[in-house]
Amino acid sequence: MDFKSSTVYQIYPKSFCDSNGDGIGDIRGMIGKLDYMKSLGVDYIWSTPFFASPLNDNGYDVEDYRSIHPLFGTMEDVEELIQKAEERGMGLMLDMVFNHTSTQHEWFQKALAGDKKYMDYYIFKDGEPGTPPTNWQSKFGGSAWEYVPKLNKWYLHLFDVTQADLNWNNPDVREELKNVIRFWKEKGVKGFRFDVVNLISKPDVFEDDDEGDGRRFYSDGPYVHEFLKELTADTDIGDMIMVGEMSSTSLEHCIRYSDPREKELTMCFNFHHLKVDYPDGNKWALARPDYRRLKELFELWQTKTAQQGGWNAVFWCNHDQPRIVSRLGDEKAYWKESAKMLATCIYLLRGTPYIYQGEELGMPNPGYRSIEEYRDVESVNYYHILLQEGKTQEEALRILGQRSRDNGRSPMQWHGGEYAGFSTSQPWIGIPEHYQYINVQEEEKDADSVLHYYRRLVALRKQYPVIQDGTIAFLYQEQETVFAYQREWEGQKLLVLNNLSDREVVLQEAVSCGGYECLLSNYGQDGARSRLETLRAYESIVWLKED
Ligand code: TEU
Ligand code: CA
């Protein structure tokens, strides 16, 4: 299937739908909702990991890449999911966590027992207790090294202490991982998402980072492009959809990863646009979003990838991010308008759109109020770090309320009844009160809902080549809150105008729409006018002209 006209729907299984009433979402729950996914018009379903795991990082700590965690279901369930998705014209994409394994993985257990072969599967360094090999920091807080007294060695973990980094320099490791790909390909999986795949190549020399937490040494590391080329070629997955999650990456590298001539990946996720509200790059502090920076980033990434031959995954939300309507919109007074406006900003760009479960309903952050309500390892770690740094509990909770990954992990809201239709018993993580009006059942009934608007956006991409293939030029870049662009393809011209602000904005130059048809507006009929001089609060307008 052509990825240029496709849309991907992301599922976080634990929070999507619980089929057996234990409060935890599962694979049979996903099977039961395939018709819903089909009704969105999406082509692929990406599920985050459901493999055997101690679940310290909700499955990103994999213990066995070929078996299914019993909480999520069985291998037969996964086979049925693949088959039933396929019957509906959708492909399943699996999440390959190849930068690290769980320390419960058989390989790491053998390494711990002193088996030389398996010690070389990971990154062990000699050393004394108390002095880690480098000053690198884990992304979840604290040192990135853990000491193993029995071995007199430290191992590297860029994430949790139970997520040990693999040694990709070892060809045996690469072969093991290729076998995992072959296994799932055989099962009929249609694509892959590769977790933090730009971190797999560590530097030849490990040294202290005087400027930061070490990421500049291993992000887009020395052999990463070679490793990806080899993985793709040797498993023959070049025709599948492959998206790499790139952490602290650069535009130049992402173009290389996604340029079809390089035969590495199909597209990349990058996170620069989701850091415009991090003061000095600090996720754990709050600031007003820098809209100019946001617009500049989109302009830069969109135009450069178009010129040089790369491809982007476009997204606002995933299981690691707070909800976009709470972040850049107004979850109260302009909830519906701003949720639709934010969708319009990105889903008509050049790239493949990813919709994260619940985003299509305009789900806001859950608003958890006490630390007991949080489940995520990163959130709990940082809560304590913030307290140590002198923040009050109230301040720390306010930061988590905006930044925690659990903001994106509250259960999917299917209806306004018991447990939001997610489960028949108390879910593993709390359901926010807004489920009573923000849920699938209500939004199906409302012709003007966020849900129907998302369907329309997905359908437009299929319908108009200009959205798939058109050139792109950004407009009104000097106007801070106007997010606007024009796309062109043969006889088609698409004009997308959005106001990121809760105030009316006067356009520096008015637009008259002679010859244009209004394809979409988040103010319904009220949005229609023949000349645009202003944009209302959070307004979105999309115009199309065809010769
Ligand atoms: O995330 C990678 C990653 O670096 C982040 O999104 C991370 O959560 C954030 O930067 C911390 O501030 C991927 C997965 O999406 C995430 O769920 C996993 O926890 C992580 O890798 C480790 O596998
Ligand atoms: Ca369950």
Catalytic, out of 245, 359, 406, 443: 245
25 pLDDT higher than 90:
yes
Looking at the CA of 71, name the nearest ligand: 2
Q: Which amino acid is located at 541 in the chain?
A: I
Q: What angle do CA 180, 186, 187 make, to 5 degrees?
A: 95
Residue 528 pLDDT level (bands cut at 50, 70, 90): confident
Instruction: Give the amino acid at 464.
Output: Y
Strands 492-499 and 482-489 turn out to be antiparallel
Tell me what pLDDT residue 111 has: 98
Rounded to an integer, the average pLDDT of 303-310 is: 96
Q: What angle do CA 314, 404, 278 make, to 5 degrees?
A: 65
Is residue 411 within 8 A of residue 11, CB to CB? The reply is: no
**Sequence-ordered list of residues with C-beta below 8 angstroms from that of 274, at least 6 positions apart, any chain:** 316, 321
Give mean pLDDT, residues 95-123: 98
547 confidence band (pLDDT: 50, 70, 90): confident
Burial degree of 128 (CB within 10 A; 0-12, 13-18, 19+)? exposed
Residue 269 pLDDT level (bands cut at 50, 70, 90): very high
DSSP string, 64-76: EEEEE-TTT--HH
Helix, strand or coil, per DSSP, at residue 474: strand
Ligand nearest to the CA of 15: 2
User: Would you say residue 1 has pLDDT above 70?
Assistant: no
Cα 502–Cα 303–Cα 458 angle in degrees, nearest 5: 60
Q: How confident is the model at residue 210 (pLDDT cuts 50, 70, 90)?
A: very high
Give the distance (Å) from ligand 1 centre to CA of residue 320.
6
| Listed residue (368, 363, 316, 366) closest to 336, CA to CA | 363
Q: What's the gap in Å between 72 CA and the centre of ligand 2?
A: 6
47 in Cβ contact with 73 (< 8 Å): no
How many other C-beta atoms are found inside a 10 Å radius of the C-beta of residue 450? Answer: 24
pLDDT category of residue 236 using cuts at 50, 70 and 90: very high
Looking at the CA of 379, name the nearest ligand: 1
Secondary structure letter of residue 260 according to DSSP? G
Catalytic, out of 77, 146, 165, 195: 195
Mean of pLDDT values over 188-199: 98
C-alpha radius of gyration, the chain, whole number: 23
What angle in degrees, to the nearest 10, is found between the helix axes of 377-388 and 393-403?
A: 150
Q: What pLDDT does 321 receive? A: 98
Mean pLDDT of the 40-52 span: 98
Decide if 18 is catalytic. Answer: no
| Residue to substitute in 194, 195, 213 for testing ligand 1 pocket (most ligand atoms within 8 angstroms of CB) | 195
The three-state (H, E, C) secondary structure of 132-189, written as one string: CCCCCECCCCCECEEEEHHHCEEEECCCCCCEEEECCCCHHHHHHHHHHHHHHHHCCC
Number of H helices, E strands in the chain: 17, 22
How close is the Cα of 427 to the center of ligand 2, in Å? 9
**Tens-place pLDDT, residues 458-512:** 999 999 999 999 999 999 999 999 999 999 999 999 999 999 999 999 999 999 8
CA dihedral 357, 97, 100, 63 (to 10 degrees): 90
Ligand 1: residue whose CA is nearest its atom 4? 247
Integer Cα distance of 296 and 89 in angstroms: 37
pLDDT of residue 2: 85
Lookup result for tokens 């360094």 = 125
At residue 108, the pLDDT reads 99
Q: With both helix axes pointing from N to C terminus, report the angle between 224-235 and 251-258 in degrees, rounded to the nearest 10.
A: 20
And the tokens for 56? Answer: 């310290």
Tokens of residue 12, six digits: 């976080």
If one counts every other C-beta atom within 10 angstroms of the C-beta of residue 465, the result is 15
Per-residue pLDDT reduced to its tens digit, 339-374: 999 999 999 999 999 999 999 999 999 999 999 999
Rounded distance from Cα 18 to ligand 1 centre (Å): 24
- Measured at the CA of 313, the angle between CA 402 and CA 520, to 5 degrees, comes to 80
pLDDT at 524: 86
What is the average per-residue pLDDT within 169-177?
A: 98
Q: How far is the CA of 136 from the centre of ligand 2 (A)?
A: 38
Closest CA to ligand 1's atom 10? 139
Predicted local confidence at residue 512, as pLDDT: 87
Is 220 an annotated catalytic residue? no
The three-class DSSP label of residue 537 is: coil
What does pLDDT average to over the chain? 97
Two tokens, residue 327: 């972040």
- Please give the share of the chain, as a percent, with pLDDT higher than 90: 97
Spatial CB neighbours of 175, under 8 Å, sequence gap ≥ 6: none
Spatial separation of the C-alpha atoms in residues 17 and 389, rounded to whole Å: 38
- Please identify which residue in the block is written with the tokens 């011209």: 493
Q: Write out the E strands in 195-309.
A: 241-245, 267-269
Residue having the nearest C-alpha atom to atom 5 of ligand 1: 320
**Lookup: tokens for 246:** 């790139």
Using a 6 Å CB cutoff, which residues line ligand 1? Answer: 57, 60, 97, 139, 159, 195-196, 245, 247, 283, 319-320, 378, 405
